[in-house]
Amino acid sequence: MFLKPEATKDFATRVGHPLAAIYDAQLTYETYVSLIDLAVQTERELKVLAPRDRIDIQSFFWVVGDYQEGRESVYP
């Protein structure tokens, strides 16, 4: 599981996961355990979408963590 700090912290904040509060730039055991917990919980919630692996979960973190209101793509 990759830890992209800003997007992952933002995702954790949006879903109410404690990773956002305990994150430390110096990778600690607690941070890593919390990251894995976030990944497992997210994978469980996305089961209906059938994520293939943790890269799919990481991509979901990235997309949600980078989301900004009003920046949606508009297709004609």
pLDDT by position in tens, the chain (length 76): 778 888 899 999 999 999 999 998 888 999 999 999 999 999 999 999 898 998 899 989 888 877 667 666 655 5
Answer whether residue 58 is part of any domain.
Answer: yes
Is the C-alpha dihedral spanning 19, 20, 21, 25 positive or negative?
Answer: positive
3-state secondary structure of 26: coil
| Domain count for the chain | 1
Answer whether residue 76 is part of any domain.
Answer: no
Answer whether residue 51 is part of any domain.
Answer: yes
Answer whether residue 74 is part of any domain.
Answer: no
Domain range for 42 is: 5-65
| 35-38, long-range: CB < 8 A, 24+ apart | 35/1, 35/3, 35/8, 36/1, 38/8, 38/11, 38/12
